[in-house]
Amino acid sequence: MTGPTGSAPAATAVLAGVVAGRRVWLCDLDGTLVDSFPAHEAAFRQAIAEVVPAALPSFRYADHAGASTAEVAALLTGDREVAGRLARRKQELYRRFVEQGRVRPFPGARRLLDRLTGGGRVAYLVTSGSRGSVERVLTGSALGACFRDVLTADDVPVSKPDPEFYRLACRRWHVDPAEAVVLEDSPHGVASAVGAGLATLHVHTAEPAPGAVAVRGLDDIVSLLEMT
């Protein structure tokens, strides 16, 4: 016998336990609600080829997923001025790709956010993206109206996986961690949320990062919420 999403009953029970009673949802954007990985990787690779070509052969975007562009640029270059040029060029390219329609919501993203807001829950966006890029993605995906507020990398002095990223989000919105659940897709994001003491769902995976509960897809969460 399986649960409502095709998962085993035990897994469904664990997921239900995380979701139950939590009215505040803190959602990541890139890789969680929108499929932006290919566009981010392409933008980074092109920017690296132009600014620091020697770093391109060893670059793997998957190693940096969930980190801010500025942080990745700093790690790749070790030079503040060069890192600034790399980050600016990458953001310019990524925003162009967004405007070309290369970043789209994952299946179930809109259904999930509509279910949350329609069911009396509150959704906030907590993302390592820059505000300029995030605003473009939210406009292009028509997801912006689903969030009560948005926190980006431009608003905080730290980056995921630092737990302070989510602690700052909770303080900013007066959120009790016991009443919130986090939606993340990357080990960086999960580490930040779990480190801040937040119940965390690791989506689009069968093997969660430490401290999180695995969820294969957003529709799995929608199915569970429809039963509550």
d(CA 218, CA 200): 14
Check residue 4 and give its pLDDT.
46
d(CA 137, CA 103): 7
Check residue 1 and give its pLDDT.
28
Rg (C-alpha) for the chain, rounded Å, is: 17
pTM: 0.89
| Residue 36, token pair as written in the block | 């932006």
pLDDT < 50: residue spans in the chain: 1-6
Check residue 16 and give its pLDDT.
87
Helix H or strand E encompassing 151:
strand 150-151
- DSSP code per residue over 86-126: HHHHHHHHHHHHHHTT--EEPTTHHHHHHHHHHTT-EEEEE
Is-contact 48 103, C-beta < 8 A?
no
d(CA 104, CA 177): 30
Right CATH number for 9-36+104-225 from 3.40.50.2300, 3.40.30.10, 3.90.110.10, 3.40.50.1000?
A: 3.40.50.1000
Is-contact 119 221, C-beta < 8 A?
no
Catalytic residues: 28, 30
Check residue 228 and give its pLDDT.
66
